[in-house]
A and B are shown apart, each in its own frame.
Chain A
Amino acid sequence: GIQVEQSPPDLILQEGANSTLRCNFSDSVNNLQWFHQNPWGQLINLFYIPSGTKQNGRLSATTVATERYSLLYISSSQTTDSGVYFCAAGFTGGFKTIFGAGTRLFVKA
C-alpha cells in the first residue's frame, strides 16, 4: 500500500547544530507538506513542497519527486525547534493525505 516513511525517528541536537530529516514516499505525489507539532500539540505548516526547493529562515526543504523523497534542513537549531516533524503526502489520483510517523527532535541548550 501507499507509504510515507520518515527518518530518523528520534534526534537529539545541541543548540546551534544542523540537521537533515528525510521523508520517503512510495508513489507519485501531488502534494507534499512538512509540519512541526510543538510540545503543546499545535500543528504548524512549514512547507508545501511537491517538488523543488524552498527556504524560510533557518529552515529549508527539498523534494525530488522523481526519486520519491523529501528533505527538511534545520540550520543553527534552537531549543524552540523541539517537537515532532511530520511529512504528509497526497498521492496523484487520490484525495487522501497520508502522514509519516514523524521525527521527534529535542534540542538541548
Chain B
Amino acid sequence: DAGVIQSPRHEVTEMGQEVTLRCKPISGHNSLFWYRQTMMRGLELLIYFNNNVPIDDSGMPEDRFSAKMPNASFSTLKIQPSEPRDSAVYFCASSPGIRGADTQYFGPGTRLTVL
C-alpha cells in the first residue's frame, strides 16, 4: 500500500486566498483525522471522520476552516480566507479502527505558508 497520500506537499499563498489541502487515506481504513502542527501549539486534532461522517470537529479553529469526506478514498481541508496565523504543517492520518481506538498512520504533511 502507498500509505496516506497528501497533496500538495508545500503551499505558499497570500492572505485572503482560498487554500485546499487533499488527502487519500489507506484503502480499507474506517477513520480519518486532520491535524495541525505548529511550534506554539504542537500537534492538534482538527476533525475526525468515521465512515466518511464527521464525528468531532471541535478542534476546527474557526468558521474559515471546513473539511469534507465525499467518499472513503478522499478528503479535503479548506481554509477560506487564509490568514498568516494559519501557517503550519497539516497532517492527515487514517486508522482501521473506530473512535480513534487503533493505530493511526500519518501522511507526509502539507507545509502551508500564508504571506
Contact = CB atoms under 8 A, between A and B. Distances in A.
A102 B99 contact: no
Contacts, number: 58
A33 B97 CA distance: 14
A45 to B, nearest CB: 5
Interface string B43-55: 1110010000001
A50 B102 CA distance: 9
B43 A42 contact: no
A31 B98 CA distance: 11
Q: Do most interface residues of chain A lie in helix, strand or loop, or is the interface mixed?
A: strand
A41 B99 CA distance: 26
A44 B101 CA distance: 17
A108 interface: no
Interface of A: 30-31, 33, 35, 41-45, 48, 50, 86, 88, 90, 94-102
